[in-house]
Structure 1
Amino acid sequence: MAALDWIVLGAYFLVMVGIGLWSRKRIHTVADFFTARGRIPWWLSGISHHMSGYSAIMFVTFAAVAYDHGVTVYFWWPLTIGLGIGVGAFLFAARWNRLRAKHGVDSPLAYLAVRYDLPTQQVLAYSGAALKVVDIASKWVAIALLLKGFAGIPLGWGIALTGVCTMFYMAFGGLWADVLTDFGQFVIQGVAGFAMLFALFAHLDGVATLWTMWGDLPDGHGDPIAGPVTSGLIVAFLLVKTFEYNGGMWNLAQRYMAAPSGSRARKSALLSSFLWIVWPFILFVPMIAAPLVVPGIEDGEKSYILLAQELLPAGIIGLLLAGFFSHTMAMVASDSNVITAVITRDLAPVLVPRVRRLTEAGQLTFARITTVAFVTVSMSFAFFADPDGFIMTVVVSIVAATMGPISIPLMLGLLPWFRRHGPLAALVSWAGGLAVWACLYWGVEDASQTVNVGLPVLVSLVLYVAVGLVRPEGSAARDALIDSLADDPPEAEPGASERQAPEGPPASDGAARADTIPGPRSPRTPSSS
């Protein structure tokens, strides 16, 4: 890296710190910290939803798949996500928003105490939080590998640098800092992505490269199904990503909750779906064409680093690396914020009942301390992880394979068609899916990726539906909750949120509405007790 690259990278870190400090002025309550009280415009929510799905893993592990096997990486990853979000726009997005608007919910798991019961909520919360620790650790490793490749920074220092910066601006700025970082990431990624694409065109055959490169690439690089990717794996990923990216990955439910209304949350989902289908293909073109520029690489995870060093001038490499940082920090910040919400609103009040009695300022301080603690724990996992193969194992064999069993009771519980599916269906579905995953992961050495990813979510889905049909469970509170998510409240109509939202902290309206969902999730202030 040249001096100009370091200047660009340093400027990026200063901007991140500035975002955290600016966002702090907008954070008065835990509702501001976790959901911005529905003040985030739908287009910003949509961009944030889209960018929260990226991390440096794309430019390490997925770049390796593109280098080794070609365009198939687009079909099994971003295309399945884009289609899944498009489906979820009409099933889930508005319902997430109405949980906040009608019930004052700050955590995606808060409604589970009424929808099922407290034990079910706690089981899903603990298992999901444990999964996120490992998931985020893989992202720290990915950005550290990029730092080492570009700048020669040791892995430990790379993890520490990224983690401390993320910890700082998230603890100060909450969700506002997160979505603004996502927007900055969107701009940086656009500039760096087009710079890499145009540099590739200049190096090869100009714009004609888009259709001439396929004949020069190794055999099979133009095939949608190639290498380890099968049609079954693509279908399995489509099923998993539909649940994961519509709220099963809790931080993405927050994006819908933070929009001004349910109808606008649906628009943000459609925007995110469009971006997922179009933009990643532009990013993947240089990765797919990399064998023509830097041939003979044995370790495909280094391909994007070598491609950038070959094609990009000084300054742009720094911008590209800033983009990598932004990807990882935005995703980790997003995960950290929602995990903090779950711990603060769903877990801590059960373990330590006095948390319920914290003042509004005390709740906010507790949320910030939890953010720092969670990021620290995930960094500790990354420090001791073996980077060789760790990322792909986590992304596919652990996260993708276990996300379905954890998210199916959470997601299907929002829909009226499953209103008679109670705690038994949820727990059997969760336990059955994870048991199948454990047997495959530790007991079957030669199971394919299709089986590892698809079978746990399929078993979980079948068990949830079947148990609910065999043992239906009725509840007036459950029916009232589900029915309340069918349409927007009058005050959530377009424009109303902006007209009515006060600049200062609310008195007790959010807390009062939160009381419609009882349970440990919602610590009360003295004024609302």
Structure 2
Amino acid sequence: MSALDWTVVVGYFLVVVAIGWWSKKRIHTIADFFVARGQIPWWLSGISHHMSGYSAVMFVAFAAVAYDSGLTVYVWWALTIGLGVGVGAFLFAPRWNRLRAKHDVKSPLEYLARRYNLPTQQVLAYSGAALKVVDIAAKWVAISVLLKGFADIPLEWGIILTGVATMAYMTVGGLWADVLTDMGQFVIQAVAGVAMLIAVMGELGVGFAWTMWEDLPADHNDPVNDNVTTVLVLAFLLVKTFEYNGGMWNLAQRYMAAPTGSDARRSALLSSGLWLVWPFILFLPMFAAPLIVPNLDNGEESYIQMAQELLPAGLIGLLLAGFFSHTMAMVASDSNVITAVITRDIAPVLVPKVRRLTERAQLTFARITTVIFVSVSMLIAITTGGEGFVLDVVVDLVAATMGPISIPLMLGLLPWFRRNGPTAAIASWAGGLAVWYVVFYIVEDASQAQVVGLPLLTSLVLYIVIGLVKPEGNDERDTLIDSLSTDPVGTGSAAASAPLPEQGRGEGRQEPDERVPAR
């Protein structure tokens, strides 16, 4: 990297820190910190939802798949997400928003204590938080691999650099800093992605998107290739529909932070459209990489080497800044929502004193929790050494276990499952994780479709069947579910809806009303 490249990277870090400090002016309560009081415009929420869905993993692990197998990585990853988010725009996005607008919910798991019971909420909170800390560790490894490839920075220092920078703006700026960084990331990625696309056009010709397939291996233009099957693609479609509509908790926050349920639906449709189009544009140079940097032993280095060969000074720094922004924005997003879960759902049960904290003290507690969580994920990333860790975690572990965690959370929002109570929720969660453990660790030669699909399918079947065999509905649950069908009408409707009981936060005590009028 040249001095100009480093200038661009340093400039990016300064902008990120400036965003964090500017956002601090908007953060006065935990409602600001976690859900921005529902004041994020729908278009910004949609862009943030899209950009929070992937990190530098795309330019490391998925670039390797594109290098080795071609088109199929777009089909089983980006296409399934785009379609899943489009479905969720009508099923889930407005309901997440109405939890905040009508019930003052600040954490995606906060409603579970009333929808099921406290033990159900706690097991989902603990298992999801444990999963997320490992998931984020994979993101640190991904960005450190890129740093080592571009600038020969050791893995440990790459993780520390990005981790400290993320904490610098996330702990002060909350969700506002996260969303605004996503917007900056979108702009940087657009410039860097188009620059790489033009560079590849200069190398292979303007029409390379059509002509390159003749020179690539014959199966690189197949939608299903290598170990990818149609069954696996369908399994990913099911998993991603749950994961990207709230099962991945930070993405539920984007819907909650929009002004109304209708705005949340629009933001989801925008995100869906971006998922269908933009990743394909980014993947085109990756598909062509074997023609530009052939015979690589490690496909994870393909995008790095192609950038070093094709891009001039300055643009490499911009590309690296884009990698940083991918990872830092996603990690910041995950950290914010995990902090919300710990602050709102776990800590008050473990330490009763948390229930009586003032608004300012709760905000301080949330910021401290953010620092601790990010630090633990960095420590895990450093101790792995990075070899093969990224793809194993992101694809095998996260995709497979997200289903059992998200099924009770997501289906609990829908009126069709109003009779599914805590028994169905716990059995679904435990059964799905048990099947994942058997398939992943005990069954020999299990296919990726089985590893990804069977846990979620098990959880789904158990949730539905037990709900039919042992219905556990009651009037309180019915009232909660029915309230999520429509947006509040003016301030009266929003104010009239009772906030969720502050489980574990003291009898008869409510926090100050932080709702804003529906628009």
TM-score of the aligned structures, taking structure 2 as reference length: 0.97
Q: What's the counterpart of residue 37 of structure 2?
A: 37
Q: What's the counterpart of residue 56 of structure 1?
A: 56
Q: CA deviation at 1:445?
A: 3.0
Q: Is the 8 A contact 1:440 1:447 kept in 2?
A: yes
Residues 138 and 435 (structure 1 numbering): CA distance in 2 closer, same or farther, change over 3 Å? same
What residue identity is the alignment partner of 1:122?
Q
Q: What's the counterpart of residue 517 of structure 2?
A: none
Q: What's the counterpart of residue 501 of structure 2?
A: 517
Which moves more between the two structures, 25-34 or 380-389?
Answer: 380-389
Alignment partners' CA distance in 1, 2:12 and 2:490: 39
User: Secondary structure at 1:472's aligned position in 2?
Assistant: coil
Q: What's the counterpart of residue 10 of structure 1?
A: 10
User: Secondary structure at 1:220's aligned position in 2?
Assistant: helix
| 1:382-397 paired onto structure 2 within 5 Å | 382-397=381-396
| 1:483-522 paired onto structure 2 within 5 Å | 483-491=482-490, 515-520=499-504
Q: What's the counterpart of residue 294 of structure 2?
A: 295
CA displacement, residues 342-364 of structure 1 (integer Å, 9 cap, x when unaligned): 00000000000110100010000
Alignment partners' CA distance in 1, 2:498 and 2:274: 34
Alignment partners' CA distance in 2, 1:286 and 1:200: 6
Residues 278 and 121 (structure 1 numbering): CA distance in 2 closer, same or farther, change over 3 Å? same
Alignment partners' CA distance in 1, 2:436 and 2:491: 41
Alignment partners' CA distance in 2, 1:378 and 1:448: 29
Residues 391 and 243 (structure 1 numbering): CA distance in 2 closer, same or farther, change over 3 Å? same
CA displacement, residues 356-405 of structure 1 (integer Å, 9 cap, x when unaligned): 10001000000000000100111110010131111111011100000000
Residues 446 and 527 (structure 1 numbering): CA distance in 2 closer, same or farther, change over 3 Å? closer
Q: CA deviation at 1:462?
A: 0.3
Q: CA deviation at 1:110?
A: 0.4
Alignment partners' CA distance in 1, 2:458 and 2:76: 21
What residue identity is the alignment partner of 2:112?
L
Residue 78 of structure 1 pairs with residue 78 of structure 2: yes
CA displacement, residues 226-261 of structure 1 (integer Å, 9 cap, x when unaligned): 112111110010000000000000000000000000
User: Secondary structure at 2:5's aligned position in 1?
Assistant: helix
Unaligned runs of 5+ in 1: 498-508
Q: Is the 8 A contact 2:5 2:315 kept in 1?
A: yes
Alignment partners' CA distance in 1, 2:351 and 2:146: 41
Alignment partners' CA distance in 2, 1:177 and 1:371: 14
User: Secondary structure at 1:60's aligned position in 2?
Assistant: helix
Alignment partners' CA distance in 1, 2:506 and 2:340: 10
| 1:23-422 paired onto structure 2 within 5 Å | 23-206=23-206, 208-422=207-421
Residues 492 and 485 (structure 1 numbering): CA distance in 2 closer, same or farther, change over 3 Å? farther
Q: Is the 8 A contact 2:120 2:422 kept in 1?
A: yes
Q: Is the 8 A contact 1:113 1:518 kept in 2?
A: no
Q: CA deviation at 1:298?
A: 1.1
Q: What's the counterpart of residue 502 of structure 1?
A: none
Q: Is the 8 A contact 2:352 2:505 kept in 1?
A: no
Q: Is the 8 A contact 2:79 2:276 kept in 1?
A: yes
Q: What's the counterpart of residue 505 of structure 1?
A: none
Alignment partners' CA distance in 2, 1:526 and 1:110: 14
Q: What's the counterpart of residue 500 of structure 1?
A: none
| 1:463-474 paired onto structure 2 within 5 Å | 463-474=462-473
Q: CA deviation at 1:417?
A: 0.2
Q: CA deviation at 1:522?
A: 9.1
Residues paired across the two proteins, number: 512
Residues 482 and 139 (structure 1 numbering): CA distance in 2 closer, same or farther, change over 3 Å? same
Q: Is the 8 A contact 2:105 2:500 kept in 1?
A: no
CA displacement, residues 181-209 of structure 1 (integer Å, 9 cap, x when unaligned): 00000000000000000000001112x11
What residue identity is the alignment partner of 1:391?
V
What residue identity is the alignment partner of 1:136?
I
What residue identity is the alignment partner of 1:232?
V
Alignment partners' CA distance in 2, 1:244 and 1:492: 32
Alignment partners' CA distance in 2, 1:142 and 1:353: 38
Q: CA deviation at 1:517?
A: 3.5
User: Secondary structure at 1:27's aligned position in 2?
Assistant: coil
What residue identity is the alignment partner of 2:500?
T
Alignment partners' CA distance in 1, 2:224 and 2:232: 10
Which moves more between the two structures, 304-313 or 441-450?
Answer: 441-450
Alignment partners' CA distance in 1, 2:352 and 2:476: 24
Q: Is the 8 A contact 2:354 2:505 kept in 1?
A: no
What residue identity is the alignment partner of 1:165?
A
What residue identity is the alignment partner of 1:385?
T
What residue identity is the alignment partner of 1:156?
E
Q: Is the 8 A contact 2:59 2:303 kept in 1?
A: yes
CA displacement, residues 149-208 of structure 1 (integer Å, 9 cap, x when unaligned): 0000000000000000101100000000000000000000000000000000001112x1
Alignment partners' CA distance in 2, 1:514 and 1:284: 47
Alignment partners' CA distance in 1, 2:476 and 2:377: 37
Alignment partners' CA distance in 2, 1:526 and 1:325: 37
Alignment partners' CA distance in 2, 1:513 and 1:58: 43
Q: Is the 8 A contact 2:108 2:253 kept in 1?
A: yes
Q: What's the counterpart of residue 452 of structure 2?
A: 453
Alignment partners' CA distance in 1, 2:401 and 2:247: 11
Q: Is the 8 A contact 2:8 2:318 kept in 1?
A: yes
Q: What's the counterpart of residue 430 of structure 1?
A: 429
Q: Is the 8 A contact 1:103 1:517 kept in 2?
A: no
Residues 70 and 22 (structure 1 numbering): CA distance in 2 closer, same or farther, change over 3 Å? same
What residue identity is the alignment partner of 2:70?
G
Residues 527 and 273 (structure 1 numbering): CA distance in 2 closer, same or farther, change over 3 Å? closer
Alignment partners' CA distance in 1, 2:15 and 2:99: 33
User: Secondary structure at 1:77's aligned position in 2?
Assistant: helix
Alignment partners' CA distance in 2, 1:411 and 1:515: 20
Q: Is the 8 A contact 2:114 2:500 kept in 1?
A: no
Which moves more between the two structures, 386-395 or 118-127?
Answer: 386-395
Q: CA deviation at 1:518?
A: 4.0
Q: Is the 8 A contact 1:401 1:456 kept in 2?
A: yes
Q: CA deviation at 1:516?
A: 3.4
Q: CA deviation at 1:519?
A: 1.3
What residue identity is the alignment partner of 2:297?
E
Q: What's the counterpart of residue 503 of structure 1?
A: none
Alignment partners' CA distance in 1, 2:313 and 2:505: 50
Q: CA deviation at 1:527?
A: 6.3
Which moves more between the two structures, 2-11 or 517-526?
Answer: 517-526
What residue identity is the alignment partner of 1:516?
L
Alignment partners' CA distance in 2, 1:513 and 1:375: 36
TM-score of the aligned structures, taking structure 1 as reference length: 0.95
Q: Is the 8 A contact 1:357 1:525 kept in 2?
A: no
What residue identity is the alignment partner of 1:474?
G
